[in-house]
């Protein structure tokens, strides 16, 4: 599961909200981009959103049109694949990569074919027997950014991917729990720490691997923590000693850099952004990412 941890004091977090959302731009109209070291800049355009609806259609026989049924699909590994870089691939190309993972129908066990259903734009896995379509949906990753005595709590991963690297405590949200409850549970599982959640700090989307991170600011209820089964070590790091060269994922690099920038500015904010992979770089390079469409409150 995913891991992530950072923390913030309740006095400073009380100023997190109270402003309107706005794109983070410079005088030249460029968006902030996070790189290995200081923040760099690159041009970007505001995202557009559109919604669509799908209806269920009955199947009269095995040769009729596919039935649209949603499925969560299989769990992707956290940040195990690169994110797209502008210009992004077509929706059909992106969906083809994910739909190829499904070779058999989860309802009847029949073999699937991969093609674009009528009225859609993306390649889907369609059962050749019952006609049902397997829709794969993004996974939500939740975690805590915890500060204690002006230090940040990090865990060293004891599992793959990114074995031996440092992370904030975080993981996949479970059915039946809220995002906040999931973040608290993951913090306990990975750091054996009880926390009080103060407020949300960041939502970071990684579209190509189908993940959305929600990181909360939190504080320790008690000054006690220790490695859980998925961690080999837990430590409090001063802000100047955060091991950026040994962080597990780009999401951790982005979250911690945003936090440091807020601390330097004297005001903590809520951040939204999309993490994209730089062309020609390794998927395992946690610093080879940019933060696009960055907005803050």
According to DSSP, residue 7 is labeled B
Q: What's the pLDDT score for residue 34?
A: 38
d(CA 230, CA 3): 9
Q: Which domains does the chain have, with CATH numbers?
A: 10-44+138-296 (3.90.79.10), 67-135 (2.20.70.10)
Q: What's the pLDDT score for residue 291?
A: 97
Asked if 65 contacts 118 with a C-beta cutoff of 8 angstroms, the reply is yes
d(CA 34, CA 200): 20
Is the pTM for the entire model greater than 0.85? Answer: no
Q: What's the pLDDT score for residue 100?
A: 52
Q: What's the pLDDT score for residue 79?
A: 62
In the Cβ-directed half-sphere of 138, how many Cα atoms lie within 13 Å?
14
Q: Convert the pLDDT of each residue in 50-83 to its tens digit.
A: 333 333 333 334 344 566 655 443 343 456 544 3
Q: What's the pLDDT score for residue 185?
A: 98
According to DSSP, residue 278 is labeled P
How many beta carbons lie within 10 A of that of residue 76, not counting itself? 19
Q: What's the pLDDT score for residue 284?
A: 84
- Under 8 Å CB-to-CB from 124, ≥6 apart: which residues? 66, 95, 99, 114, 115, 116, 117, 133, 134, 135
d(CA 198, CA 10): 6
Task: Give pLDDT < 70 ranges for the chain.
Answer: 1-100
Asked if 3 contacts 169 with a C-beta cutoff of 8 angstroms, the reply is yes
């Amino acid at each position: 599961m995913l891991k992530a941890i950072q923390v913030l004091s309740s006095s400073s977090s009380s100023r997190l909200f109270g402003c309107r959302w706005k794109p983070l731009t410079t005088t030249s109209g460029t968006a902030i981009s996070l790189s290995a070291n200081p923040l760099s800049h690159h041009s970007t355009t505001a995202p557009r959103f559109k919604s669509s609806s799908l209806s269920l259609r009955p199947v009269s026989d095995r040769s009729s049109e596919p039935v649209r049924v949603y499925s969560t699909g299989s769990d992707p590994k956290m940040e195990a694949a690169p994110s797209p870089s502008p210009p992004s691939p077509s929706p059909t190309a992106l969906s083809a990569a994910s739909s190829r993972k499904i070779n058999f129908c989860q309802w009847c066990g029949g073999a699937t074919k991969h093609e674009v259903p009528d009225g859609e734009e993306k390649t889907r896995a369609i059962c050749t027997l019952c006609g049902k379509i397997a829709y794969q949906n993004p996974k939500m990753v939740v975690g805590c950014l915890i500060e204690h005595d002006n230090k940040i709590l990090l865990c060293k991963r004891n599992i793959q991917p990114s074995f031996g690297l440092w992370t904030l405590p975080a993981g996949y949200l479970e059915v039946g729990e809220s995002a906040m409850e999931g973040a608290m549970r993951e913090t306990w599982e990975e750091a054996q720490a009880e926390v009080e959640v103060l407020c949300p700090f960041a939502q970071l989307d990684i579209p190509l691997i189908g993940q959305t991170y929600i990181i909360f600011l939190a504080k320790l209820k008690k000054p006690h923590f220790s490695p859980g089964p998925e961690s080999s070590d837990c430590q409090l790091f001063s802000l100047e000693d955060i091991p950026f060269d040994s962080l597990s994922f780009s999401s951790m690099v982005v979250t911690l850099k945003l936090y440091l920038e807020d601390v330097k500015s004297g005001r903590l904010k809520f951040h939204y952004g999309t993490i994209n992979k730089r062309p020609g770089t390794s998927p395992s390079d946690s610093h080879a990412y940019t933060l696009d469409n960055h907005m803050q409150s």
